[in-house]
Structure 1
Amino acid sequence: MIDLRTLETFWVVAQTGGFHRAAEKLHTTQPAVSARIAQLELELKVRLFERDKRGSRLTVKGREILKYAERMLALRTEMVLSVAGANALEGTVQLGVSDTIVHTWLPELLKRLNHEYPAITLEINVDGSTGLAAALLENSIDVAFLLGPVISGSVANLPLCEYPLSWVVREEFPLGPEAVTLKELAAFPIITFARQTQPYRELTELFNKAHQQRVRLFANSSLSSIVRMTLDGIGVAAIPVEVVSDHLATGKLRVLTTIDQTMPTMVFTASFIKGPDTHLNGVVAALAQKVAGEYALFSDRPSHQDQTISAD
């Protein structure tokens, strides 16, 4: 008899494209996955996957069976939610998180998840948005909070938050308090996100348009390291004020006002894999959207306009 666990294994192999990846996703062994697929093929009397060095691909019959498997798994989730409610949800979600989110509202999300869905377990991976998007498309993570959206038919995207970059310096830094120009900023190291990120590319373009090609951009993949370098007075940080709100409140850091500059804005999404048995992904993404909205509502960030002064 075909059971739901076997169908779930079949669906995960189809999504991940390999028995080894499916085993990691299901927290089991590759021989166990192979045995379930072999039993399913035996019962259905068809070959479900073509296997080679590049992975496993569905056969024509496999694609046909996949439609039925998705419907049955979706029906199981619908039954559980209808009878037992959301509190019955349990399982593990592989969550990928951008460093910026770690430094803002992620702790509050973890508290809320633990309170509202105590049977959901999170395994968290902190990485840059490029790496998180690749991991999501490879099915090695289920949900990602990243600079999005991720464009794929298998991925859903919920808007999370928008954080404009600001120029942040140590209190004693030799700039300000009057408004500064890009030329004045370019005399100092600019400390910001890693080279392959959207903020780095947009800052490069910003200085190029101002004919400041000799600017020194110190790329850094660690937000904690960026903040530490800024506190040490090494240069001017181009980061969201949300990640250094405590240091701004104590006066260790301050925000520079600028003349006629529109700073890049970091736009984050909760991107997650869609599927018949992936309701947990949507639950985590939806709660993250709610927490991010509440964080923005109660944030005392000065408006972006307050940090820019016109030259007129």
Structure 2
Amino acid sequence: MIDLRNIETFFWVATLGGFRAAAEKLNATQPAISQRIALLESDLGVRLFERNTRGITLTPKGSELLSHAERMLQMRQDMQVAARARKIMGGTLRLGVSETIVHTWLPRLMERLSDAYPALMVEIQVDTTTSLKSQLIAHQIDLAFLLEPMDDSRIESLHLCQYPLHWIAGPTLKVGRQPVTLQRLSQWPVITYSSTTGPYRMVRELMLAAGIERPRMYGSSAVSVIVRMAQDGVGTGVLATVFLAKEIERGELRVLEVKAPPLPPLRYAACWMQRPDSHVARTVAEVAQRIAREEDAKYQAIHIRQNPDKNFL
């Protein structure tokens, strides 16, 4: 019989790219991690990793089996959540979501909820954080994934994830040699999140502190608008690039080095009203938190392997 602990070990070695990182993640020794992988390879009758002086890589069969391992671990997590639930989850959950979450891990959350709670219906409302906060207070939605938690005693919240902000530009924008100054960038509008958000205010404060008296800024509640305007060379953009890997790889966007203090990351939280029937919202928020952490581990592992000399939030 295959030990689920060995499958979990295989998943984290593959995801984090090494035995040492997996040992730290699972609070185990490297020899124990190696033994678990050896046992799993013996049970399956296949080699999962190729080992050489530069490290390890998945074999073709290992790559094929990784998705199976992930599904098995997800099923275990879902079973644990269901076992802790006080009742079968059903009915309708009205979920409000900020757009960045839509472009990252929301599809995985919906798949997980469909598998674990087939009787639960979810209505999704995509809107700005400002609007979603108002809807939550007005009981128009049951759960919201917001940019920053709400400072309200009636609200419970759970940290979900955080994404670094970057300055970006399209290939036609002639910003000159990098790192580029804010004075140079002030020749074009700065396109970022809407004027009611923290990123907009922070960018404006940076520009003012740099001596730019009237910074031109375009705020948009639609991430797709920010991306398109930056691609078209309307101006520079400031946003989280976590979902823009393809555009950057194709050369449609580039990340700029800017002579300015670093921008704080976007911090997302799940928020819901304290009510007797808030168990469903809390449970979904906990599932969302686990998925966000899994996605962040993958994101960090990929970028650390590709950029070993850089730090990522």
Q: TM-score, normalization: structure 1?
A: 0.67
CA distance in structure 1 between the partners assigned to 2:159 and 2:311 by the alignment = 25
1:95 aligns with 2:103: no
Residue of structure 2 equivalent to 1:190: 190
Change (3 A) 1:291 1:131: same
CA distance in structure 2 between the partners assigned to 1:233 and 1:109 by the alignment = 34
Residue of structure 1 equivalent to 2:133: 133
Change (3 A) 1:85 1:150: closer
CA distance in structure 1 between the partners assigned to 2:224 and 2:164 by the alignment = 18
Change (3 A) 1:267 1:187: same
Structure number with greater Rg is 1
Asked if structure 2 preserves the Cα contact closer than 8 Å seen for 1:149 and 1:271, the reply is yes
Asked if structure 2 preserves the Cα contact closer than 8 Å seen for 1:176 and 1:256, the reply is no
What letter matches 1:267 in structure 2?
Answer: R
Larger mean CA deviation between 172-181 and 116-125 belongs to 172-181
- Which residues in structure 2 correspond to 1:50-69 (within 5 Å)? none
Residue of structure 2 equivalent to 1:18: none
Cα RMSD over matched residues?
A: 2.4
- Which residues in structure 2 correspond to 1:168-179 (within 5 Å)? 168-176=168-176, 178-179=178-179
Change (3 A) 1:86 1:253: farther
Asked if structure 1 preserves the Cα contact closer than 8 Å seen for 2:147 and 2:269, the reply is yes
**How far did residue 96 of structure 1 move?**
0.6
CA distance in structure 2 between the partners assigned to 1:181 and 1:215 by the alignment = 14
CA distance in structure 1 between the partners assigned to 2:176 and 2:106 by the alignment = 33
Asked if structure 2 preserves the Cα contact closer than 8 Å seen for 1:256 and 1:307, the reply is no
CA distance in structure 1 between the partners assigned to 2:192 and 2:199 by the alignment = 8
In structure 1, the residue corresponding to 2:270 is in which secondary structure? strand
CA distance in structure 1 between the partners assigned to 2:144 and 2:240 by the alignment = 20
Residue of structure 1 equivalent to 2:11: none
CA distance in structure 2 between the partners assigned to 1:177 and 1:113 by the alignment = 48
Residue of structure 1 equivalent to 2:160: 160
- Which residues in structure 2 correspond to 1:288-299 (within 5 Å)? 288-299=288-299
1:75-104 deviations in Å (ceiling 9; x for gaps): xxxxxx77x967831111110111111122
Residue of structure 2 equivalent to 1:227: 227
What letter matches 1:294 in structure 2?
Answer: E
Residue of structure 1 equivalent to 2:250: 250
In structure 1, the residue corresponding to 2:191 is in which secondary structure? strand
What runs of 5+ residues in structure 1 fail to find an aligned partner?
Answer: 1-80
**How far did residue 124 of structure 1 move?**
0.8
In structure 2, the residue corresponding to 1:118 is in which secondary structure? coil
**How far did residue 247 of structure 1 move?**
0.7
What letter matches 2:193 in structure 1?
Answer: F
Residue of structure 2 equivalent to 1:106: 106
What runs of 5+ residues in structure 2 fail to find an aligned partner?
Answer: 1-81
**How far did residue 155 of structure 1 move?**
1.5
CA distance in structure 1 between the partners assigned to 2:233 and 2:189 by the alignment = 10
Asked if structure 2 preserves the Cα contact closer than 8 Å seen for 1:258 and 1:307, the reply is no
Residue of structure 2 equivalent to 1:26: none
| Matched-pair identity in % | 37
CA distance in structure 1 between the partners assigned to 2:223 and 2:164 by the alignment = 15
Residue of structure 2 equivalent to 1:116: 116
Asked if structure 2 preserves the Cα contact closer than 8 Å seen for 1:203 and 1:264, the reply is no
What letter matches 2:229 in structure 1?
Answer: M
**How far did residue 191 of structure 1 move?**
0.7
CA distance in structure 2 between the partners assigned to 1:288 and 1:117 by the alignment = 14
What letter matches 2:205 in structure 1?
Answer: E
1:191-230 deviations in Å (ceiling 9; x for gaps): 1111111111111111111111232101112111111111
